[in-house]
């Protein structure tokens, strides 16, 4: 997958005072928030980014459970923008990754948002 670098701009170019970013950074330090890094985007442009020692922009490290929150937020935004729907199958976005055979259990997945409540009786068609 080819990645495109996000354009970098001065904060003021996208309506953010640099002093507000500095206050944010000082506040994070004062509260011992132990940030590894941060990136501030506005209108699809990077207005500020920072890395705290020993971390740097080229260092990858696990972010564990926060990935689920970021992924669900991204999916929600994509649905809201009409780019995808709950009916789309993920494999259709990555056709070159599809195996030759797909197990029947993985061929169809009903998203939890589309399921009936578990406490209600379900009608079973045979």
| pLDDT single digits (tens) 67-122 | 888 889 999 999 999 999 988 877 778 888 877 777 666 655 555 555 454 444 44
Sign of dihedral through CA atoms 111, 117, 122, 123? negative
CA pseudo-torsion sign 42, 4, 60, 89: positive
Q: Report yes or no on whether pTM surpasses 0.75.
A: no
Residue 57 reports pLDDT greater than 50: yes
* Confidence check: pLDDT of 40 > 60: yes
Cβ contact 5:29 at 8 Å: no
Q: What is the pLDDT of residue 79?
A: 92
- Compute the average pLDDT of residues 24-47: 90
Q: How far apart are CA 117 and CA 110, in angstroms?
A: 13
């Amino acid at each position: 997958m080819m990645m495109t670098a996000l354009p970098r701009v001065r904060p003021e170019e996208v309506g953010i005072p640099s002093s507000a970013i500095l206050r944010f950074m000082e506040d994070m330090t004062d509260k011992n928030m132990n940030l590894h890094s941060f990136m501030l985007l506005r209108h699809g442009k990077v207005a500020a980014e920072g890395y705290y020692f020993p971390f740097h922009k080229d260092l990858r490290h696990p972010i564990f459970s926060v990935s689920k929150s970021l992924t669900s937020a991204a999916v929600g935004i994509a649905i809201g923008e009409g780019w995808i729907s709950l009916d789309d199958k993920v494999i259709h976005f990555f056709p070159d990754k599809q195996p030759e055979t797909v197990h029947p259990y993985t061929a169809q997945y009903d998203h939890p948002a589309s399921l009936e409540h578990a406490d209600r009786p379900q009608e079973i068609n045979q």
